[in-house]
Chains A and B, each alone.
Chain A
Amino acid sequence: MRSLLLQVAAVTLMNLKSLPQRLWLSLSTVVAVALVVIVLLAFLAMGNGFQRTLASAGAEDVAVILRGGSQSEVNSVVTRDQVRLVEEAPGVAKNSDGQPLVSPELYLVVDGVKRSSQTKVNLPLRGIGQEGAAVRKGITIVAGRMFAAGSSEIVVGKALLREFEGFELGQTVTFGTGRWTVVGVFEAEGSVFESEIWAALPVVQSFFKRDNVFQTLRARLANPAALEGLERYVDTDPRLKLEAKSEAAYFAEQASRTSDLIHKLGWPLAIAMAFGALAGALNTMYSAVAARATEIATLRAIGFGGLPAFVGTLVESLILAAIGGVIGAVATLLIFDGLSTSTLGASFTQVVFSFQLTPALAAEGVILALVVGLIGGLFPAIRAARTPIVIGLYGL
């Protein structure tokens, strides 16, 4: 047993030492595998970044209340009477003054210009109630101040400022005939709220001629369990006929379509490319076995078994693939991780997000690489172990 292990070790080492002889072919396998892994991981990091941006916005103890069937905030309509009824709903938390923590909101789409492409894009302008910031978690003003009630002032999310033009602190922004001044920049733990523009609800209503029109309500719940009661309340009261869901559930739904799509594109593309790389890996390893035919036969002639030749070839293939996988993962980390971009989200406005490569995703990439290496090495390894000594020695 020990001698077999020694044989395996000796042959494997010999194979690895002979790698420089087939440098270019081996290198092309490494690069091919690396490219497959980069394509896969870039898509996965994109989907993950998008999903996290939306998911991190959602709290379990905040309810989003929409008109039933409207699916996203931009389509919803809620009346003044309904707002009043929701404020009296069971399970809604109150602030220190005893006022319900409810923010009636108006979600409008306005034009902006994306820096990278210089094209017009849809941006969300959200008129929020007095409790607007309080019903959301982790909102902090990082520059300037909050807008003053009743003034035509706006605060903008950090991500929005980064991706789109003209929202620097102190700038005047025009939406139609309305002129607004940027007085603050806020952070929201990297969530989708950072892609939004916020202003005082009554001011937005009057500038956009939507007096007494609301679209959604956000309510802070006394505890996450209170959601069920609220759901029943807004659904059964004939004056309401609204739909309540936790903010977490709302954003999870919003995220699912786009991130699913990205995943459904990334994996098949990477697998198709993996087939191409696999053909390359097989070719490389068959060539390596052919080049070593005499050597393998010689070893067999002096008493080495077939197993060392098998393991040696397989290990060589796995090592090449692993190197490719790691290079691919590192390259994705360097090129794509943290890359900021934006796309049209389910609310018909731009969602700014960053590519996020996690160790778990990187592992998926390396595993795909190893699968290529395993299959790419297996068949040539079988051939190496089975080549009859005589044929090998004569190099036939």
Chain B
Amino acid sequence: MNDLVLIRKNLFRRKLRAGLMTVSILTAFAIFGVLGSVERSFYAGQDVAAADRLVVVNKINFTQPLPIAYYDRVRTIDGVQQVAHLNWFGGYYQDPKNLLIVMAVEPNSYMDVYGDEIDIPPEVRQAFTHERTGALVGEAMAKKWGWKLGDHVPIASNIFSQKNGSRSWDFTIVGIFTGKKAEVDTNFMVFQYKYFDETRSFGKDEIGWMVLRTTSPALNDGVVKAIDQMFANSSYETATDTEKAFNKAFIAQFGNIALIVILVVGAAFATILMIVGNTMMMSVRERTREIGVLKALGFSGSRILRLVLGESILLALIGGLPGLGLAALFILSVRASLTGFLPQIMVSPDIALAGFALMLVLGIVTGLIPSLSAMRLKTAAALGRN
């Protein structure tokens, strides 16, 4: 009989107890897996951001507009490779509750700046540039609303209206794009700024913000300074930052989600640490005589230590692995309904790996004291104890 069999037999000697511990550990790891994925997806925006992309917004706040003339001026600055300008449309489809991420862009500059993130074939590029009412729709958005290439979709705005009083614009879907990387969220659409600017009833020649690419990330600081100095003391001062920093600050506006996740996961783990730790101690205490017998049979102290530690680690794995699996299943089942709010959510390999490491830690921590006391047990005393 090898040690593994012994460990397994010990663990499942009291089936009910082992089962209860498993459930307890399972819930903690399921919570870890779900909240870990939520947190990861929530902060994904700042991780996706390219190092050489900068964002230029109005210094008052990013919801305030900038003049379109700034676009040409920023292009002349040394170190700036490509610039795109974007305008938030405040779009919704059919019902004001169906909010959509819709932006008005200049096609070529937009596709240049974001070419490394979204996949746009040459013919689509061609179509988007030439079709005045054309719109590019992300795969996730097209799937959600069942839109196909060539569809005409009316999208309303909760901010803008057309000169003819209508709040709705008609778009023709000229392309459906996919992300080049798995982390890229495609739940958005872009359409021609020209069409937008010519038809809207107010805000003509204004843009929302600019995104630009520098020739090298090393030039970022210099470019940031050059842009903000260029427009200092004008009536539209700018604030330029890296896309990463900008996304990070925006995400932080919702509150400290990371802290909430840490506190809840911490509470879940504190619970199982106590319950499992105490139970392990109790079951080793119950087996004192047996351990004495093993020692009398010639089992070394370190082997006893390994047996008990092995038992607690096995328990942690038996509870933890299905817990993570449950989390993955749960995330998979709610994934579709979370697009837009938590894009690309999944139990990623590094979350699973962190979970696995936590299982080992849990097993070692809960088994440490009982295994040490079992190792130190004097054979005679153990045999004598009832």
Contacts and interface: CB of A to CB of B under 8 A. Distances in A.
Do chains A and B interact in one complex? yes
Contacts of B156: 69
Contacts, number: 146
Contact of A269 (B63, B264, B282): B264
A283 B281 CA distance: 13
Given A69-B96, A269-B264, A277 B58 contact: no
Contacts of B61: 108-111, 122
Contacts of A117: 252, 256
A244 interface: no
Contacts of B159: 70, 75, 77
A280 B31 contact: no
Given A25-B282, A29-B275, A209-B235, 12 more contacts: A27-B274, A71-B96, A77-B202, A119-B253, A120-B249, A121-B252, A279-B27, A283-B20, A283-B279, A286-B16, A287-B17, A344-B254
B146 interface: no
Nearest to A25: B278
Interface string B217-238: 0000000000000000111110
Contacts of B253: 119, 121-122, 343-344, 350
B209 to A, nearest CB: 13
Given A109-B63, A121-B253, A176 B271 contact: no
9 contacts: A28-B278, A108-B60, A119-B249, A176-B235, A273-B267, A280-B20, A280-B271, A342-B255, A350-B253
A117 B271 CA distance: 30
A272 B267 contact: no
A313 B235 CA distance: 76
A35 B59 contact: no
Given A39-B264, A276-B23, A70 B30 contact: no
A204 B61 CA distance: 15
Contacts of B325: none
A287 B90 CA distance: 60
Interface of A: 24-25, 27-29, 31-32, 35-36, 38-39, 42, 69-71, 74-75, 77, 108-111, 114, 116-117, 119-122, 175-177, 208-209, 213, 269, 272-273, 275-277, 279-280, 282-283, 286-287, 341-344, 348, 350
A69 B279 CA distance: 59
B275 A175 contact: no
A77 B157 CA distance: 12
A159 to B, nearest CB: 15
Contacts of B25: 276
Contact of A276 (B24, B233, B264): B24
B24 A280 contact: yes
Q: Which of B28, B61, B277 has the most CB of A within 10 A?
A: B61
B282 A39 contact: no
A32 B271 contact: yes
B31 A273 contact: yes
B158 interface: yes
Q: Which of A27, A29, A287 has the most CB of B within 10 A?
A: A287
Nearest to A282: B20
Contact of A70 (B158, B252, B279): B158
B20 A176 contact: no
Contacts of B63: 74, 108-109, 122, 348
Contacts of A36: 267, 271
A239 to B, nearest CB: 11
A31 B252 contact: no
B242 to A, nearest CB: 13
Contacts of A282: 20
A14 B16 CA distance: 26
Contact of B274 (A31, A69, A120): A31
B22 to A, nearest CB: 8
A108 B64 contact: yes
B237 A177 contact: yes
B21 interface: yes
Contacts of A350: 253
B267 A39 contact: yes
B83 to A, nearest CB: 22
Contacts of A269: 31, 35, 264
Contact of A272 (B30, B60, B64): B30
Nearest to A269: B264
Contacts of B248: 119
B256 A35 contact: no
B360 interface: no
B158 to A, nearest CB: 5
A273 B32 CA distance: 11
A175 B28 CA distance: 47
Contacts of B274: 27-28, 31-32, 280
